[in-house]
Amino acid sequence: MKSGIAGLRWTTLPYHRRWLMDQANGLFDFFEPHSIDPDGGFYVLDDRGEPILKGSDGGHAPPREIHSTTRMVHCFAIARLLGRPGADRFIDHGMAFLWNGHRDPVNGGYVWSVGKGGPGDDRKLAYAHAFVLLAASSAKLAGHPDADRLLADVTDVILTRFWDANAGASREEFNSDWSPIAGGYRGQNSNMHLTEATMAAYEATGDSMWLDMAESIAGLIIRRHAMACGGRVPEHFTEGWEIDRDYLGDPVFRPSGYTPGHWLEWTRLLLQLWELGGRRHDWIPEAARLLFANAVAEGWDQRHGGFYYTLDWHSRPQVKRRLFWPQAEGVGAAAFLNAIDGGDGYESWYRRIWDFIAGHLIDRDNGGWRSEAPEMGAAPFFQGKPDLYHDLQACLIPLLPTTGSITRGLLHHPPA
């Protein structure tokens, strides 16, 4: 269906804006009652919002992974800035576990996961440290008393262990003692999230170093590599930052081929970076438009709706499952492009993606979002319902200006 009356945007309609805020509140309502683990960190929740106390194999409870801890801090910092009572308890709990659970007091840095009756994973990953930086920055904007301590510590680790000034991007992974992991893998996903986090750190501190780092990563991943692939973001690289088309990694965090959800995520992050940097890089808007155009042309399931999880190197559907997070990132990308460029095309996609989410992912019986469209007939990638990071941001990004992050937007332009 076409977007309707020319110039009419859903994001300007009071009803739609209330609907978005209602969805955000519903996510908080789902995660608040049972997320806090009294032993530290946060439980993984099942489809009904109850803690998962055993793994999928019937063994120990899932370990407490750092991306979940940090995202809960980030999301409840947003809740605090929104004015939601009770948010401070979640920020306090997450910040304490980051410092006392995930932080390695012997070798420095932050471990990927802490076991819950079973083993954890003590690797030091760039992806994890990007989210620690995001959590610390969001907590600082929300006024948390421990934010400066965490921000100073993770800054030192990122600059001394991960940042490769010659490449203008981050190294990927180390063992617990900072010895290198064989293979020299470099990944765009960790660097994409470091771009998000360095922009947040720039907003929190005013230090232009962070903005320079974000622009450097975007230049390497998007201007150099994605544009050489016709506006498609390659995921995996060698130590020398050459594309590794033969890489076969973790199907959740490092799937092979292209991941169109990341093209959508980069669309929004690029435009946010362009605005935050004073619109000084002319290549950024055109790159963002091309990434979005390819994502909707090649990544969208024309028959059933929704974005595929992965494509092969010829942009053919590879993993056809439609996970929740690419749909959420599609909302943010369409909202940014619609606000900056306008036009019925972006408005149509904004509505189409929300229609898919409303029809397939929002769980009206149990609350929260399903982790993927349920009719695919395969066991889901994720046990239970993942944290609310992608979902919540999809609800709030359309309500705020494109000139910065959600936390900055809430500080200066709280939605009516």
Task: Check 262, 281, 304, 360 and give the catalytic one.
Answer: 262
pLDDT tens column, 152-208: 999 999 999 999 999 999 999 999 999 999 999 999 999 999 999 999 999 999 999
DSSP assignment string, 183-240: T--EEHHHHHHHHHHHHHHHHHH--HHHHHHHHHHHIIIIIIIIHHTTS----EE-TT
| Average of per-residue pLDDT across 319-327 | 96
Residue 173 lies in a domain: yes
| Average of per-residue pLDDT across 15-19 | 98
What pLDDT is stored for residue 31 in this prediction? Answer: 98
- Of residues 344 and 239, more confidently modeled: 239
- CATH code, domain carrying 163: 1.50.10.10
Residue 389 lies in a domain: yes
Q: Which two tokens stand for residue 284?
A: 């950024």
Q: In Å, what is the CA distance from 386 to each residue of 30, 126, 176, 370?
A: 11, 20, 26, 9
What pLDDT is stored for residue 344 in this prediction? Answer: 81
Residues 6+ apart with CB under 8 A from 52: 43, 44, 45, 46, 61, 62, 383, 384
Number of domains observed in the structure of the chain: 1
What pLDDT is stored for residue 57 in this prediction? Answer: 67
pTM over 0.75: yes
What pLDDT is stored for residue 3 in this prediction? Answer: 43
Residue 3 lies in a domain: no
Residue 66 lies in a domain: yes
For the cut 90, the answer to whether the pLDDT of residue 54 exceeds it is no
Annotation says 262 is catalytic? yes
Domain extent, residue 169, equals 10-412
Annotation says 225 is catalytic? no
What pLDDT is stored for residue 381 in this prediction? Answer: 84
Confidence of residue 1 (pLDDT cuts 50, 70, 90): very low
Task: Check 67, 93, 144, 390 and give the catalytic one.
Answer: 390
For the cut 70, the answer to whether the pLDDT of residue 63 exceeds it is yes
What pLDDT is stored for residue 376 in this prediction? Answer: 63
Residue 220 lies in a domain: yes
Residue 250 lies in a domain: yes
Residue 1 lies in a domain: no
What pLDDT is stored for residue 338 in this prediction? Answer: 97
Q: Indicate the helix (H) or strand (E) that contains 151.
A: helix 147-157
| Average of per-residue pLDDT across 106-118 | 94
Residue 4 lies in a domain: no
| Average of per-residue pLDDT across 128-140 | 98
Confidence of residue 6 (pLDDT cuts 50, 70, 90): low
Give the rounded distance of the alpha carbon of 99 from its chain centre: 22
